[in-house]
Amino acid sequence: MSSEIHDLIEGPITCHCWNSDRTKLALSPNNNLVHIYSKSGGRWQLETVLKEHDQRVMGMDWAPKSNRLVTCGADRNGYVWTKEGGEWKPVLVVLRIQRAATCVKWSPLENKFAVGSGARSISICHFEVEHNWWVSKHIKKPIRSTVLSLDWHPNNCLIACGCADFKTRVFSAYVKDCDEKPESTCWGKKMTMGNLMAEFSSPGVGSGGWVHGVSFSPSGNKLAWVSHDSLVCVINQETGKSSFEKTKELPYLDCRFVSETNLIVAGHGCFPAMYKHDNDNVSFSNKLDQQGGKKDTGGLKAMDKFKRLDKQASAATETTLSTTHQNGITQISVFKEGGSIATTGVDGKLVIWKV
């Protein structure tokens, strides 16, 4: 069950992120703005609005240690925001892309970040001290469509991506100028920049769909992804075994490992659910919210409503869902390690769930 419900805006929330102690929240209300909220008396109060982007903000991430906020958008730009003297100052990132930036993620050590885009590429961005700006190196081949999701491996040098070409991939994002030489992992030894470490397709005959969300487990040995064909997939690279669950629910849009065996997913079904990966098998565990379908608050049966429709096809009834979210969930974030997660959705709600 949900522990906190906050109605923040009237409209969709595209993406959100938290500062380190969870006292501040950044989100985009489906436009070119970034809203930053601070918590006061149990309520979230709008603190400031960032207006540097010209088009819709598609992704953001808040570095917990350095307190830097990175955003990217459909205007093909990325900005790194630093708070100085009570104001947020943006620094433009040289992404060198010709299509919208779709997602962004800080690396675990916060010395670089990755930006996915519609240009069939991932930009690995790091700070160049000599020129005092953020520059990028591109990972392109063999990506054949828009990059929809990203997640970093705990070693700071591997990046997983989910794409609209129905593929999930793991690349090396080792940058010689800012990374120490990485040790070999179960994903491979050769970690030159842009090297393809692994590539996965949706299992099953006739399966395939956009990969909306990817997530490494805390150890980095497992990778989970959710796709538009209603699949939840997990690969254990250490054993080389993969497993999947074909759900009967609407497609999930995001996934997040909260432990080595527990995976939280959410999406068009308007509720978060937990899946368990144990003994190299993935299986449904439980819903964090109860999905009871739709409630007709007008007190009329379907046939009665049909009979009472006037010539203009209007009806004096309303439809609500029995779930906490009243529309699709767009993003999952970890609110407290091992304790709770947060979700935002098309209904403008922020919900914090006890896991």
Task: Give the pLDDT score at 204.
Answer: 66
pLDDT digits (tens, 9 = 90+) for 102-144: 999 999 999 999 999 999 999 999 998 887 889 999 999 999 9
Q: Is the pLDDT of residue 300 over 70?
A: no
Task: Give the pLDDT score at 157.
Answer: 97
Task: Give the pLDDT score at 129.
Answer: 83
Torsion of CA 152, 153, 158, 161, to 10 degrees: -50
Domain residues for 70? 2-354
Task: Give the pLDDT score at 61.
Answer: 98
Six token digits for residue 295: 């409630």
The separation between CA 133 and the C-alpha centre of its own chain, rounded to angstroms, equals 26
Six token digits for residue 284: 């449904």
Say how many C-beta atoms besides its own lie within 10 A of residue 268's C-beta: 18
96 - beta bridge partners? none
Task: Look up tokens 């690279």; give the residue.
Answer: 237
Please give the Cα distance from 258 to 281 (Å, whole number).
17
Q: What is the pTM of this model?
A: 0.91
- Give the range among 156-165, 215-224, 298-307 with minimum mean pLDDT: 298-307
> Helix or strand or coil: residue 230?
coil
Domains identified in the chain, total number: 1
pLDDT digits (tens, 9 = 90+) for 87-109: 999 999 999 999 999 999 999 99
Confidence tier at 311 by pLDDT (50, 70, 90): very low
Task: Give the pLDDT score at 156.
Answer: 97
Q: Is the pLDDT of residue 309 over 80?
A: no
Q: What is the CATH number of the domain that holds 229?
A: 2.130.10.10
Q: Is the pLDDT of residue 312 over 60?
A: no
Task: Give the pLDDT score at 7.
Answer: 94
Task: Give the pLDDT score at 299.
Answer: 40
Q: Is the pLDDT of residue 268 over 50?
A: yes
**What's the mean pLDDT when you consider all of the chain?**
90
